[in-house]
Structure 1
Amino acid sequence: MARHIYSCPLRWSDMDAFGHVNNVVFLRYLEEARIDFMFRLAPGDGSPSFSGGSVVARHEIDYVRPLVHRHEPVTIESWVTKIGAASLTIAYEVKDPDQVYVRASTIVVPFDLEAQRPRRISAEEKSYLLEYMDDSAPGALAA
């Protein structure tokens, strides 16, 4: 299973009064990593995959340890734990080589912006997602 790697810069405004990255900022970090991951399929190839839109249906975040603000970026590893007909689950670890700060997951629903409704995952999208699939995740492939 491949993992998508995203190098996320920390910003001065991410810090809270205690010198840690604020808990809500991690959602922004996950969003940056998710967009980088999902849109690697479409740009430049003329593929419409994932470019039509998507919505977040759920986030789950476990804060493992505080991330102290610094100038060096943090690494976000992303992979897929579930693919359904019209949704997928992406898992993440926000980390350094020797330290995990956050473990999280997001349920993403592909969305038809023109029709303003959810849509099914295309065969091309599913093929791309399978490259990052963790086959050991419970219920990994749904109908």
Structure 2
Amino acid sequence: MHTYTYSCPLRWADADTYGHVNNALYLRYMEEARTRMFQQVLLADAAERRWHSFVVSRAAVEYRVPLLYREDPVDVCVRVAQRRSVQFDLAYEIRDAQHVYAEGTTTIVAYNLDTRRPRRLTGTELTFLDRYTTP
């Protein structure tokens, strides 16, 4: 197993009046990492992507240490915590070398946008997820 790591830039507008990164933005950082991670497995054809999409059905964040705005990016580390035939859970750490700022999870459902229904994960998707699955 290995972890996907995304170097996430902080934006000045991410900070509140105290200089802390706003708590809602942690979900955006998780989304940015997940989106870049899944570019490796998304289909090129737009119609095919509609039939083989993913939606978030649950998200949770545990805040550990306040993240102050700075020029340096933070790492968003992503791994597959659990996978089933239709959905999987991703676990995240938002961190740098000194601190884990937050830990989060999302439950992702394989979804067909045209039928508006869940679908089974394909063999290609399962193989992709296995690369990041916690043993």
TM-score (norm 1): 0.87
Given that 1:42 and 1:51 are in contact with CA atoms closer than 8 Å, whether structure 2 keeps it comes out as no
Change (3 A) 1:21 1:111: same
Deviation at 1:123, TM superposition (A): 0.9
Q: Runs of 4+ in structure 1 displaced over 2 angstroms? A: 48-52
CA deviations 1:57-87 (Å, max 9, x no partner) are 1111110000000111110100001101110
Change (3 A) 1:71 1:35: same
Give 5+ residue unaligned stretches, structure 1. 136-143
Change (3 A) 1:50 1:79: farther
Deviation at 1:51, TM superposition (A): 7.4
| Identical aligned residues as a percent | 36
Larger CA deviation: 51-60 vs 117-126: 51-60
Q: How does 1:77-88 map to 2 (within 5 A)?
A: 77-88=77-88
Say yes or no: does 1:29 pair with 2:29.
yes
Change (3 A) 1:20 1:50: farther
Given that 2:77 and 2:93 are in contact with CA atoms closer than 8 Å, whether structure 1 keeps it comes out as yes
Structure-2 residue corresponding to 1:89: 89
- What secondary structure sits across from 2:120 in the alignment? coil
CA deviations 1:29-71 (Å, max 9, x no partner) are 0100011112212366xxx579732111111111000000011
* Cα distance between partner residues in 1 of 2:8 and 2:43: 20
* Cα distance between partner residues in 2 of 1:107 and 1:131: 18
CA RMSD of aligned residues (A): 1.8
Change (3 A) 1:61 1:50: farther
Structure-1 residue corresponding to 2:2: 2
* Cα distance between partner residues in 1 of 2:112 and 2:20: 38
TM-score (norm 2): 0.92
Give 5+ residue unaligned stretches, structure 2. none
How many residue pairs end up in the alignment?
A: 133
* Cα distance between partner residues in 2 of 1:97 and 1:132: 21
Given that 1:21 and 1:69 are in contact with CA atoms closer than 8 Å, whether structure 2 keeps it comes out as yes
Structure-2 residue corresponding to 1:130: 130
Structure-1 residue corresponding to 2:11: 11
* Cα distance between partner residues in 2 of 1:6 and 1:91: 13
Structure-2 residue corresponding to 1:62: 62
Given that 2:50 and 2:113 are in contact with CA atoms closer than 8 Å, whether structure 1 keeps it comes out as no
Structure-2 residue corresponding to 1:112: 112
